[in-house]
Amino acid sequence: MITTFCLFFFTSIQVRAYFAQDLTSSEMVCYEEAGCYSQTDPWVSVLRPFPPPSPPEEVDVGFYLLTRNTEEGPVTNYKVKLNNRYEPIEESLRSLHYQSSKFATVFVIHGFTASINSTWMSEMAEAYLSRMEFIEDNHSEETPNLQKYIFQKIPGYASVMEEDVDANIFLVDWGKGANNASYLQTAANTRLVGFLISK
């Protein structure tokens, strides 16, 4: 009980000190090509003592695209890293296998302490892609599964062309920004990751 109280007291002093220090600095932090981040309420307040996101070169966001259909035929392991990381990515996408006509575009984004090296990320993408193959072969049958459910939510799903039964799956890597010793810093970095994904 006493320990808890002391801990709370100590934390609240830390929070106030941090907040006071932060308010005297800039209320808006901007990065060229990577957005501006308000350091005022509701983003940052006494109960949310978050620092600004780290600079984009420190968060180091990268995108990997996996698709099923490539010029070489259907594969489930096609992987490429977009070169131009902070520019709008349309130009880079055009040279890849990204197609907006594909059935779905999916972003797989990791969290705290993970990175693109976390094997579950590519496993999830491959599971998704192989599931699409499954529905392609089975979509007239009564098989309750996730892909069928998504298919049914799209008007005209039954007329999806066979070559479009594929997905653009982006694995989003921000491993350097997600492995900061400060959890608050990592949490703040998600704002920058979200901004770059939306570009």
Chain residues in the site for ligand NAG (CB under 6 A):
54, 58, 115, 117, 134, 137-138, 143, 175-176, 180-182, 185
Whole-number Å distance between alpha carbons of 64 and 41: 34
Burial of 34 from C-beta contacts in 10 A (0-12 / 13-18 / 19+): buried
Q: What is the smallest separation between the CB atom of 91 and ligand NAG, expressed in angstroms? A: 26
Whole-number Å distance between alpha carbons of 106 and 97: 14
Q: What is the phi-psi region of residue 113: left when phi exceeds 0, alpha when psi lies from -120 to 50, beta otherwise?
A: left
Question: In terms of CB distance, is 98 or 190 closer to ligand NAG?
Answer: 190
Q: What is the smallest separation between the CB atom of 20 and ligand NAG, expressed in angstroms? A: 19
Q: What is the smallest separation between the CB atom of 69 and ligand NAG, expressed in angstroms? A: 18
Question: In terms of CB distance, is 54 or 168 closer to ligand NAG?
Answer: 54
Question: In terms of CB distance, is 91 or 137 closer to ligand NAG?
Answer: 137
Q: What is the smallest separation between the CB atom of 142 and ligand NAG, expressed in angstroms? A: 11
Cβ neighbours, 10 Å, residue 36? 10
User: Which single residue brings its beta carbon nearest to ligand NAG?
Assistant: 175
